[in-house]
Amino acid sequence: MNEWITGPRDDAGERRRRVVAAALRAAYAWSVRGRFPTAMREVAMMTGVVMEAHGPGRGPVSPSALIDCLRDPLGELPTFAESGETEDSAVADAVLLDSHDRLTPDVHDLVCEYALPLAGTIEAEAWLPTWTRMHADHIRRQAFASLIETRSQDDYVASRKFLIDHPAGSREELAELVSTTGVRVVFRGYTEIPADQQYHATSDTAWWWPCPVCAWPLEVTGRTVRCRYRPHASVFRIVPGRSPRSRPGLTALDEGPRVARPEARPVNDAVCLDAGVWRFVVVPGAGELRLCRALEKQGAQVRMWPDLDSYDLHVLAGPDEFRIDMKEYRSVHRLIDDLRTKPPRARVLLPQTHEHQWDVVKAALPSLAITTETRFRTEVRRALKKGRAT
């Protein structure tokens, strides 16, 4: 009777995944309830999913009770607290709604790994973003479908790099770039910059800032701006311009690695990629391109996404050849589960921001070929040195 919710698999881990997926959707719906009359219906439906996953007499049993839970760490929900699986702190410590009922950065960190088409045969609300109701692989397939129509590797790489390098900008500039380069625009294309990623200096003057890492518009909360993806960690405070209509500036608030402060750009005529495409294509792609360019700077030869994305990087360094698949997951347990379900076609690499996950992954999957960015770059350096010596 519940197959539209549960699907063919229904073990404890899958039920926890459904709880997180439903919690993400309920949190989004609650945050926009003032704009969409059917948002409360979505919260009610997600409450039903959470109740079904917990079973009778366990967990929140009303929409208001579920919303109360979303203001606390997810690890306090019975499906986590009673299972004893508290070691996945990325999920257990996540809080989805802040004290003002706004989405927290945890939402955008987790959604890539936990979004599911929970509604089954029930049509999802049109206002519900794709990233809250579709799995990452589904959105990527939709996005890449238009990029591989020609079956040309060069066309595919050029178009995918374009998305990563230009996730936002003025409509006129992007149109000119598309025209001159001949790249294909991704499914869903570009859209207006969302209101919560704009800074209004006056009623008719608004600005946005590109993330120093992924170049997508930073989220604006009061006078603070940061990327919605937490590992892109720079946080800035807005410094108003000398006059209401002059360009505002930024000053760094965090003590992390120094990055160039982005310059404010006018919102007028500005567009950005759909949030799902950003999170599932641009964010991982930014890391892959960064590593590619770093390896090329060392002297290696790198091909991106060989055979229309069979894996991420093909690296030639002196006499040695490497195949690399970069994995950037917030939840190490979600990563392990996905690696078991879909074994990679190349050696797994954890980027610098996720190298702490190596011990856990290696312990769970001892036969997996896995390395870290730091170790791999050293390996490439040695291979290049060996090549020069012969």
In this prediction, residue 42 has a pLDDT band, given cuts at 50, 70 and 90, of very high
Distances (CA, A) of 80 to 62, 88, 93: 19, 10, 11
pLDDT digit string, tens, across residues 167-184: 999 999 998 998 888 787
Span 225-235, average pLDDT: 86
* Distant-in-sequence, close-in-space partners of 199: CB < 8 Å, separation ≥ 6: 206, 207, 208, 209, 220, 225, 238, 248, 264
In this prediction, residue 387 has a pLDDT band, given cuts at 50, 70 and 90, of confident
The more confident residue out of 363 and 88 is 363
pLDDT digit string, tens, across residues 345-385: 999 999 998 999 999 999 999 999 999 999 999 999 999 99
Span 334-341, average pLDDT: 89
pLDDT digit string, tens, across residues 185-202: 765 678 899 988 999 988
For residue 255, what pLDDT is reported?
62
Does residue 122 carry a pLDDT above 60? no
Distances (CA, A) of 229 to 108, 301, 303, 346, 374: 6, 30, 26, 26, 22
For residue 234, what pLDDT is reported?
81
For residue 136, what pLDDT is reported?
67
Percent of the chain with pLDDT strictly greater than 90: 50
d(CA 229, CA 110): 10
Does residue 87 carry a pLDDT above 60? no
* Candidate from 107-121, 145-159, 329-343 with smallest mean pLDDT: 107-121
For residue 7, what pLDDT is reported?
47
In this prediction, residue 263 has a pLDDT band, given cuts at 50, 70 and 90, of very high
Instruction: Tell me the H-state helices in the chain.
Output: 3-6, 12-31, 39-54, 63-70, 78-81, 89-92, 105-114, 130-133, 136-145, 153-165, 171-181, 275-277, 283-298, 306-309, 332-341, 358-364, 373-389
For residue 3, what pLDDT is reported?
41
For the ranges 131-145, 175-189, 231-245, 339-353, the maximum mean pLDDT occurs at: 339-353
For residue 6, what pLDDT is reported?
42
For the ranges 95-109, 183-197, 217-231, 363-377, the maximum mean pLDDT occurs at: 363-377
Q: Give helix 39-54 / helix 12-31 axis angle, nearest 10°.
A: 160
pLDDT digit string, tens, across residues 302-318: 999 999 889 999 999 99
For residue 8, what pLDDT is reported?
43
The two three-digit tokens of residue 7, written as one number: 């699907």
Domain boundaries, the chain: 3-134, 140-275, 299-389
In the predicted model, what is the mean pLDDT of the chain?
A: 86
* Distant-in-sequence, close-in-space partners of 100: CB < 8 Å, separation ≥ 6: none
For residue 95, what pLDDT is reported?
93
* Candidate from 69-73, 142-146, 207-211, 336-340 with smallest mean pLDDT: 142-146
Span 111-135, average pLDDT: 68
In this prediction, residue 388 has a pLDDT band, given cuts at 50, 70 and 90, of confident
In this prediction, residue 152 has a pLDDT band, given cuts at 50, 70 and 90, of confident
For residue 91, what pLDDT is reported?
81
